[in-house]
Chain A
Amino acid sequence: MIAVRQRRGAILPGLSAAWLAAGLGSVVAAALVALAVGPVDLGLSSIGRELLSHVPFLDVKSPMTATEDAILWQIRAPRVALGLLVGAMLASAGAAYQGVFRNPLADPYLLGAAAGAGLGATLVIAYSHGGASRDLRPLAAFVGAMVGVGAAYLLGRSVAGRTTATLILAGVTVASFLTAVQTFVQQQNTDTVQEVYAWILGQLETSGWREVALALPYMVVSWAVLLLHRRLLDVLAVGDEEASSVGVDVSRVRLIVLAAATLGTAAAVAFSGLIAFVGIIIPHAIRLVVGTSYRIVLPLSLCFGAAFLVLADVLARTVAAPAELPIGVVTAFFGAPFFALVLRTTRMVGT
């Protein structure tokens, strides 16, 4: 287990300006690449002039037709924005879960968020035929994720001598049960099975800016809470007793961080399905390369998670263009070798 002890805290009391710049820069770079590249070639200079035409006083005329404009701003840009949000959310929530549980394998789906969201989405896909299905699906997935994690938390709390291990076991129990129900519903309604699988493999599906606008408020709240608790997560990392002895209310911090991470994860899952791997590899890559303090891991997970998912989506959109690949396949296919490389080329920090 990687102890998230702050070994390099003396050298890096907080996040260095260089790494912060690298993180933010990678977000901007990834977003620009994703705007420029797609199954439809809009032309780099054309996109550049279109972007400049929105800068006041420059007097640049956009060369784009109405259709090209719609492709860029109504189809491609919202998808890039949703990718940024979901990637940032999954990576930062993953980092928070790993901190709360002091478990390197924890990811945002650990406590039943994925299973709950999966059940919610499957129920809607299977039983509400017609257009309502697509509108209700995010809500059902969101509610399912919250209910799943809530049930796991209550079950874990009700056990005597509760530890983080009991909570994880409660999560596994709830997740297995919800997955069983989900699979049952799916098998009962096999005519919709393809839609369910498409959802489970993850997709960044947007219809204009609606999804971005709906997901953003939950994620902003989640990020604010997580970032405010980054120091407390460092304290939590040394152990419950040690944290209590310096006056930290361990179970309260744990509940708040879990609730915030779950709220954001539920919003991400609602619009993107289950995108695997981002919540695990991004925080660990940062721990291996930069440092293990949550003052570093949380903000950088936000940045690099966003950049990683957007770049993965560029591949999902272009590798088989004009056909699409499920983004969950891309994140795992390219994420695993990337993480293997990080593992091999860095010394283990703090084991």
Chain B
Amino acid sequence: MLRRSPMAFVAVLFALVLAACGSSQGSLSSTSSAPASTQTSATAPERIVSLSPPATESLFAIGAGDQVVAVDDQSNYPAQAPHTKLSSYQPNVEAIADYEPDLVVISYDPTDVVKGLKKLHIPVLLQAAPADLEGAYAQIEELGDVTGHSNAAAQVVTDMKSRIAGLAEGKPGAGLTVYHEISPDFYSATSQTFIGSVYTLLGAKNIADAAGGKAPDYPQLSAEYVVDSDPDVIVLSDTKCCSQSEKTVRSRPGWDQLSAVKGGDVVPVDDDIASRWGPRIVDFAEIVAQAFQDAGT
């Protein structure tokens, strides 16, 4: 039929395309109400959209939670944050603009969303993963400055610093080696990351550092290298994503021989606190410091 009738061919083509559009019509109509003149950088923003889970946690910690109107689908903490389906991995300018924000915080900009939002005169703050805790502190202070909560942010940072200093005192990780697991195919984090800087502060030696220089800051290690390194402590930050546990680690070929497995020094942690550079990074440091103390004695 399609070969003989050009009109039928065109009709079918359009019907298919329009049928596909029909299902997403809601988002088309909503663009008409996109804000154009809500930029009031002189005063504190009142409609913040956070597409960064660590920034969401920091905003609520510094008392700017009431100004947040939407957070992305990965921002699952704190519970009272206004959760939406906005994507932080594939941020969409239209979807963000729909919330009429006067500040957007993102941690990752694969789709050039910064440029898109600037065209709409919406201020954007890009806070990428820092290389150390100093960078994490600076971002919290920056959030405080732009939201009008400088003092509270400074207080949060001071508390974090003093807790970290308390943990780092006496270097509980001194003389210990640690393997930080991000995923079960042995992605890890070197000392050039904010995760790694926690281990450095606690005095432990990170086995992923051998991959440094040649490899990315989050390298995929060889299984045999991890086994051969025989780390004293294994920190699993793939407990939620990938259901890893002391038991699954023990069942990996060759891993039952490792000192950390034999000595009970496999430490499961919540993926979120071990991958976000907000205030809860100190909770992560606390768990690790405790594990180092247990392993050292």
Contact = CB atoms under 8 A, between A and B. Distances in A.
Nearest to B187: A194
Contacts of A190: 87, 89-90
A320 B214 contact: yes
Interface string A156-199: 00000000000000000000000000000001001101010010
B254 A131 contact: no
Q: Secondary structure at chain B's binding surface: helix, strand, loop or mixed?
A: loop
A344 interface: no
Interface in A199-232: 203, 205, 207-208
Contact of B242 (A38, A78, A134): A134
Contacts of A322: 210-211, 219, 221-222, 225-226
B253 A207 contact: yes
A205 B242 CA distance: 16
A74 B254 contact: yes
B221 A71 contact: no
A346 interface: no
Interface in A116-130: 129-130
Nearest to B89: A190
B224 A320 contact: no
B113 to A, nearest CB: 13
Contact of A70 (B219, B242, B254): B254
A55 interface: no
B94 to A, nearest CB: 15
B254 A75 contact: yes
B237 to A, nearest CB: 14
A129 B241 contact: yes
A317 B222 contact: yes
Nearest to A41: B228
B244 A323 contact: no
Interface residues of B, number: 34
Interface string B218-252: 01111111111010000000000111100010001
A324 interface: yes
Contact of B185 (A40, A193, A203, A208): A203
Interface string B73-88: 0100000000000010
Contacts of B241: 129-130
B219 to A, nearest CB: 4
A38 B225 CA distance: 9
Contacts of B74: 191
Given A129-B241, A131-B244, A67 B252 contact: no
B184 interface: yes
B257 interface: yes
Given A323-B214, A323-B221, A324-B222, A74 B253 contact: yes
A70 B185 contact: no
A130 B243 CA distance: 5
A131 B243 contact: yes
A328 to B, nearest CB: 14
Contacts of A320: 211, 214-215, 219
A282 B62 CA distance: 61
B257 A131 contact: no
Contacts of A25: none
B192 interface: no
Interface-central residue, A66, A74, A193, A324, by most chain B CB under 10 Å: A324
A62 interface: no
B224 A38 contact: yes
A38 B222 contact: yes
A130 B242 CA distance: 4
B38 interface: no
A67 B253 CA distance: 10
B219 A131 contact: no
A103 interface: no
B183 interface: yes
B77 to A, nearest CB: 15
A156 B112 CA distance: 42
A323 B226 CA distance: 10
A50 B293 CA distance: 38
Contacts of B87: 190
Nearest to A78: B253
A133 interface: yes
Contacts of B254: 67, 70-71, 74-75
B210 A67 contact: no
Interface string A317-351: 10011111000000000000000000000000000
A86 to B, nearest CB: 17
Interface-central residue, B89, B90, B185, B223, by most chain A CB under 10 Å: B223
A187 B90 contact: yes
A74 B226 CA distance: 13
Nearest to A76: B224
Contacts of A70: 227, 253-254, 257
A133 B222 contact: no
Given A322-B210, A323-B215, A324-B220, A205 B225 contact: no
Contact of A323 (B220, B252, B258): B220
Nearest to B255: A70
B270 to A, nearest CB: 15
Contacts of A198: 185, 220
A130 to B, nearest CB: 4
User: Which 9 pairs across A and B sit closest by C-beta, in order of nearness?
Assistant: A70-B254, A190-B89, A74-B253, A323-B215, A322-B225, A131-B243, A323-B219, A130-B243, A323-B211
11 contacts: A40-B225, A67-B230, A67-B254, A71-B227, A76-B224, A78-B253, A132-B243, A190-B90, A191-B74, A198-B185, A207-B253
